[in-house]
Amino acid sequence: MPKKQKIAIVGATGAVGEELLNVLAELDFPVESILPLASAKSVGSEVEFKGKFYKVKELTQSVFKEHPVDIAFFSAGATVSEKYAKFAVESGAVVIDNTSHFRMDKDVPLVVPECNALDIKEWKKTGIIANPNCSTIQMVQVLKPLDGLFDLKRVDVSTYQAASGAGKEGMQELVEAMQSFFAFKLDEFKAEVFPHTLALNLIPQIDIFMDNDYTKEELKMVNETQKILHKNLEISATCVRVPVLRSHSEAITLHFKKEVDIKKAKEILAKAPSVVLMDEPKNKKYPMPLMISDTNETYVGRIRADIYDKKILHLWCVADQIRVGAATNAVRIAQKWLEFEKCN
C-alpha cells in the first residue's frame, strides 16, 4: 500500500475542485489529509471527503509553508497558478496544474496517462505536471490507439463543448438563460460568462480570437495534442459552445498514412484504456452527453469509413468535461506519479 499523501486542492469550492474530491475518494487514492484552498470569500466554508469535513482556507503565499502537502492540485484559473504554484513547489509539493498556464512550457510534462505516462518522470525539472485542456484529453485518448495501428497524419475536429468548461458560473448562466426562456424573457437576458446567450444557441467561439482567426481554445487542441503524442500532426479544430451542462462531444475525422481496417479500429478502441466503445447505430446506441455525464471514461461511437478515401476514418466521442477533461485525468496523473516515485 503506497504512503498516504497530504493533498491540497486550490479551487476546492469550484466545479473541478469538488469533483477532484469525489474522484480521489472513488479511485481510493491514498489520502492522509485534505487542505482545501480558495479565495478569501470562501474561508470558513467546508468541503467533505470520505465523511470528514475540512474547513476551506485562503490561498496565500505562505499557506503551503504553514501546512505542507505532498501533492497540490491547482484548479482556480491560469493567473492563480501563475502566481501561486511556485510557493507550493518551494514547500516541497508536486503541483498538478489544471490550467493552461504551464502546458506549453518545454520543461513541464503535459500528461494524459493513457498516452504519455512516462513523461511524468520529467516532473522534477520544475515540480509541475500540467493537465491538458479538456477537449484535448478525450481526443488524444481516442487518437493514440488508432495512431499505433494506422499512423495518423492529420486530424480535423469539431467540438460541441458544454457550459461546465466555464466552471460553475458557466453552468449557472446556462440554467438562468433557460429559465429566462421559459419566462418568455430570453431576449432580455444578458450573458456575462459566455460571449452570447447560450440557451437554445450555439456559440462558435471559446476563449479569445488569435491573429490567425482561430480561437485560443482551438490552438490549445492543436499544440497540446502534438506535445502529448510527440508527433507533428496536422490538426484543425473548430470549437463550439453548446447548451449542454457538463459533457463535451467531438466529431473527429482522422487521416492516416495507412489504409484503415474498420474492424481492427473498433477492436483496438474496445480494448483501449479509459475508452468505451458504444457503437450500435442500428439500435440507436451511440454516446450522448446526457448519458455520459458523471463517468470516468471517453465513449466512442459512429465509427465509419470515409466514403471516398480508404485512409480516412470518422468518429464521434463524448466525455464528462469535469471528470475526464479535468479531475479524473489529474487524479490518474497523481496515481502514476506516486507509482513512479515509489520505484525511485
Q: Which three cell numbers stand for residue 322?
A: 469535469
Which CB sits closer to ligand A2P, 222 or 326?
A: 326
Q: Which three cell numbers stand for residue 313?
A: 476514418
Contact letters for ligand A2P, residues 163-192 (x by CB under 6 A): ----xxx-----------------------
| 41 counts as binding ligand A2P under rule CB under 6 A | yes
| 38 counts as binding ligand A2P under rule CB under 6 A | yes
- Could you tell me the smallest distance in angstroms from the CB atom of residue 302 to ligand A2P? 31
Calculate ∠ Cα 136-133-311, nearest 5°. 10
DSSP per residue, 172-185? HHHHHHHHHHHTT-
**Considering 115, 248, 255, 317, which one is annotated as catalytic?**
248
Query: How far apart, in whole angstroms, are the C-alpha atoms of residue 58 and residue 96?
Result: 19
| 50 counts as binding ligand A2P under rule CB under 6 A | no
Query: How far apart, in whole angstroms, are the C-alpha atoms of residue 33 and residue 67?
Result: 11
Helix (H, G, I), strand (E, B) or coil at 263: helix
Catalytic residue at 134? yes
| 98 counts as binding ligand A2P under rule CB under 6 A | no
Q: Which three cell numbers stand for residue 268?
A: 483496438
Which CB sits closer to ligand A2P, 134 or 313?
A: 134
Q: Figure out which of the listed residues 8, 11, 31, 316 binds ligand A2P, where binding follows CB under 6 A.
A: 11
Q: Which three cell numbers stand for residue 312?
A: 480516412
Q: Figure out which of the listed residues 5, 7, 8, 15 binds ligand A2P, where binding follows CB under 6 A.
A: 15
**Considering 134, 239, 255, 317, which one is annotated as catalytic?**
134
> Strand pairing of 298-305 and 312-320?
antiparallel
Q: Figure out which of the listed residues 30, 68, 77, 195 binds ligand A2P, where binding follows CB under 6 A.
A: 77
| 134 counts as binding ligand A2P under rule CB under 6 A | no
- Could you tell me the smallest distance in angstroms from the CB atom of residue 229 to ligand A2P? 27
| 80 counts as binding ligand A2P under rule CB under 6 A | yes
| 59 counts as binding ligand A2P under rule CB under 6 A | yes
Catalytic residue at 196? no
DSSP per residue, 272-331? STTEEE--BGGGTB---HHHHTT-SSEEEEEEEE-SS-TTEEEEEEEEETTIIIIIHHHH
CA distances to 65, 102, 145, 224, 321 from 105, rounded to whole Å, are 26, 5, 26, 11, 23
> Strand pairing of 247-256 and 128-130?
unpaired
- Could you tell me the smallest distance in angstroms from the CB atom of residue 13 to ligand A2P? 4
The residues carrying an active-site annotation are: 134, 248
Contacts to ligand A2P by CB under 6 A: 11-15, 17, 38-39, 41-42, 59, 76-77, 80, 167-169
